[in-house]
Amino acid sequence: MGKPQPPGDLGALVALFLRLGATAFGGPAVHIALMREEVVRRRRWLTDQEFLDLLGATNLIPGPNSTEMAIHIGYVRAGYWGLLAAGASFILPAFLLVLALAWAYVRWGSLPEVGMAFYGAKPVMVAIVAHALWGLGRTAFKDRPVALIALLGLVLNLLGVHELVLLLAGGIGTMLVRRVGAGGTALALLPGVAALPAAAPTSFSLGTLFWVFLKIGAVLFGSGYVLLAFLRADLVERLRWMTLAQLLDAVAVGQITPGPVFTTATFIGYLLGGLAGAVVATVGIFLPAFGFVAATHPFVPRLRRSAWAAAFLDGVNAVSWALMAAVTWYLARASLVDLPTALLALVSGLALFRTNLNPAVLLVMGAVAGILIRSL
């Protein structure tokens, strides 16, 4: 992966991640696909192998995956200043947009209508992730054992096995098969967490709000639905600061706005503590990501140089591909609901495979098409 580039790349990093943060709809899988398009195919800042190694390392630490990928890429280009610039630039547009929606929600008690635009944008998201899966798969599947591990990881994830269990099992399994010749791995499901008992309401404080989101950012693996489970346990059941309906509205805003899904924290913070609450919650949930990437990034190239570690990383990369494939399946089921959406996905896929059209442009075109179709 080489030495970080000089700080002269800061301007390019800020411009790129501000744009991605303002236009990257669809969740972490789509964000990562868009980042690959920009930094591997268009700018050639990284090779597919380097990008996959960063993705594998990202999947092994808790926190928002796409934001951590932005932070990793920033470190590669411009060291620690790049790490801060890329991460903050990716978060800032979503923070401002969610803040505006939270203000509207508090004032009017409802969210702006975006259903028509997302009707057309979601099929394009499916095509973007499928295109990225095709490119990354050709790099990730180095041999038959790795391909089989990816297939097994996909099946087990669709059956509900936790992402971290699969990532570790995939890495250890590949390492054993390559270096020892062992026949396979054993996977175990962790028992579920019991429901929390009812608790008395707790007085609101910015300090407690910061601690809640710092803790979530430091330990959370998995999708936005896992985030919902953590938030429900802390904010609805334990602290009694929100109703479940308010929490679902907050998570919906994080899903429908561009940039990191974790800006759900911004919405919740504003509802509970105004502008100060929005800032405190946002900083709390994203702060661990910067620390984790700064601590782990220097070891990624060393992992690739070690035969044992490289085998482990190849297995993690294969399972990372499988997790993206599982997300694509769920996204397709939710997005391709009729003939127009299926045609939008097909046309977008053809455009991605046959032209160099920017995926962000396709997303905007899909949103416009959705509005036109639903308006007829």
pLDDT single digits (tens) 26-76: 678 788 989 999 999 889 999 998 898 898 888 777 788 899 999 999 999
How many CB atoms are closer than 10 A to CB 294? 15
Rounded to the nearest 10°, the torsion over CA 168, 79, 29, 15 is 180
* Most confident of the following: 165-174, 183-192, 204-213: 204-213
- Model confidence at 285, pLDDT cuts 50, 70, 90, reads very high
Give the pLDDT of residue 115: 63
* DSSP line for 215-269: HHHHH--S-HHHHHHHHIIIIIIIS--S-HHHHHHHHHHHHHSSS-GGGHHHHHH
Query: Region 220-246: what's the mean pLDDT?
Result: 75
Q: Which residue did the predictor score with more confidence, 285 or 324?
A: 285
Separation CA 323–CA 303 (nearest Å): 21
Q: Which residue did the predictor score with more confidence, 186 or 22?
A: 22
Range in 5-19, 54-68, 111-125, 337-351 the model is least confident about: 111-125
Contact 72, 293 (CB under 8 A): yes
For the stretch 77-110, pLDDT in tens is 999 999 999 999 999 999 999 999 889 888 776 5
For residue 312, give the H/E element and its range. Answer: helix 307-335
Range in 58-62, 106-110, 322-326, 369-373 the model is least confident about: 106-110
Q: Which residue did the predictor score with more confidence, 344 or 247?
A: 344
- Residue 299 tokens read as 């070891």
Range in 192-201, 202-211, 250-259 the model is least confident about: 192-201
- Residue 221 tokens read as 């693996």
> How distant, in Å, are the alpha carbons of 9, 66, 150, 318 from that of 171?
33, 21, 11, 9
Give the pLDDT of residue 142: 78
Note the pTM of the prediction, 2 decimals: 0.66
For the stretch 158-183, pLDDT in tens is 887 767 678 788 888 888 887 666 54
Q: How many CA atoms lie within 13 A of 260 on its CB side?
A: 34
Asked whether the predicted pLDDT for residue 332 surpasses 50, the reply is yes
Residue percentage of the chain with pLDDT more than 70: 84
Separation CA 231–CA 251 (nearest Å): 10
Q: Which residue did the predictor score with more confidence, 242 or 364?
A: 242
